[in-house]
Amino acid sequence: MRIVVLGKTSPMIDLSHLRADFPILHQQVHGEPLVYFDNAASSQKPRAVIQELTRYYEQDNANVHRGLHELSNRATDTFEAARKKVARFIGAANTHEVIFTRGTTESINLVANVWANQYLKAGDVILYTGMEHHSNLVPWQLAAKRSGAVVKHIPVLDDGTLDLSLLDSLLTEQVKIFTCVHVSNSLGTINPVRELCAKARALGITTLVDGAQAVGHLPVNVQEIGCDFYAFSGHKMCAPTGIGGLWGRAEKLAAMQPWHGGGEMIEVVTLETSSYKAAPARFEAGTPDIAGVIGLGAAVDYLEKVGIDTIHQHGRELTAYALQCMAELPGIHILGPQSERGALVAFHLACAHPHDLVEFANTHGLALRGGHHCTQPLMKRFKVPGTSRASFYFYNTTAEVDRMMDILHRAVKFFS
């Protein structure tokens, strides 16, 4: 690891040598070198992951679990080894607590269907926050409609943090489930999930944390957080799209009915009725995304080699640098906390609509994202039509932030 000196005093982690591991980063877009700052939407994939997918398809491809032949056994071993890697990576006590899903959205929907259908009744309260992604709002609103439960939320303060002064009045015994995003994709806020879950659990409230922007970006230990469920997506942490996970506390999963029925999740099936396997198989009906799981395992190996603490620290430093640079832009409104935030900066420039700004950036090879980022209630709260967002990962550099600044200064001139 090389250390560069940023400004006068602050030494900064430089991981630019890792860019060689990401083939996609080395290209020109509209005649200029690509700057990929859309990592909160999806990360890029290292060669180690891409090669593992190829290796699996070229050498081991077969369906898992039910085969007795060599290829199936190899595929099953690598598949289940990936589950162990993921369990270790997120601090699960037990490998069987990790369920593979298509990602955060499907993980949340699993809980908001199975758990909610079993335990929610009319008059119960579902408590979430004002900064949730739509995928942690809509499934609960649907669950509320089905059960007659009501949804309430913890409001967001001007600085992008939760208004915890209202916590005691909101987190009452009527609440049956409390759910909260770990790192906000629109503000960067890192919520105190450990403290919040402890408070909820003391009242017997079930808890779910949306870790889409946290796993692979900062150290996550589900046992330390103390939640009951934790959802995440592989594609935001160097793994392929279409794969992710739900961690569930063993006793919670053991008490839950299946969601999808089909092959793999059963013990015995008759023409009248069926009995089911325990978790995780109970929740993994049908042929899974085998290559996706194996790719996720390879992504965990890669991230562990880089080191999650190093990734986290790099993200903090690069974001602090970007915040410092961006504050100089005329007419800029940066959303979210000034310090202690995830590796992203969402902002609004007085002179340009986010879509126009992002299109302008694209013509210079800079990939930003503009819009509501699937957090419409938050946009309403901050009275903006949407924001532009630069989101970083460990392969991004200060030189790229400098290029972004150059392009943003040009945009201000162009639109003013």
Which residues are marked as active site? 374
Which of residues 185, 189, 396, 397 is near ligand 7TS by CB under 6 A? 185
Residue number with CB closer to ligand 7TS (104 or 161): 104
Residues 94, 251 contacting (CB under 8 angstroms): no
Closest distance between ligand 7TS and the C-beta of residue 177, in Å? 16
Contact segment (CB under 6 A) with ligand 7TS among 69-77, 91-99, 102-110, 303-311 equals 102-110
**Whether the Cβ atoms of residue 225 and residue 190 lie closer than 8 Å to each other:** no
Tell whether residue 133 is a contact of ligand 7TS (CB under 6 A): yes
CA 11 – CA 5 distance, rounded (Å):
5
Contact between 378 and ligand 7TS per CB under 6 A: no
Residues in contact with ligand 7TS, total (CB under 6 A)?
Answer: 17
Q: Contact between 135 and ligand 7TS (CB under 6 A)?
A: yes
Q: Is 179 in the site for ligand 7TS (CB under 6 A)?
A: no
Backbone phi, then psi, for 258, in 5-degree steps?
-65, 165
From 104, 147, 207, 396, residue interacting with ligand 7TS (rule: CB under 6 A): 104
Separation of alpha carbons 202 and 200, rounded Å: 5
- Assess 320 for contact with ligand 7TS (CB under 6 A): no
Q: Which is nearer to ligand 7TS, 245 or 258 (CB)?
A: 245
Binding ligand 7TS (rule: CB under 6 A), the pick from 43, 76, 105, 109 is: 105
Binding of ligand 7TS by 284 (CB under 6 A): no
Task: Write out the binding residues for ligand 7TS, residues 210-269 only, by CB under 6 A.
Answer: 210, 212-213, 233
Binding to ligand 7TS by residue 319, rule CB under 6 A? no
Contact between 40 and ligand 7TS by CB under 6 A: the answer reads yes
Minimum distance of ligand 7TS from residue 379's CB (angstroms) = 13
Q: Please report, as ranges, the residues that interact with ligand 7TS according to CB under 6 A.
A: 40-41, 103-105, 133, 135-136, 181, 185, 210, 212-213, 233, 369, 373-374
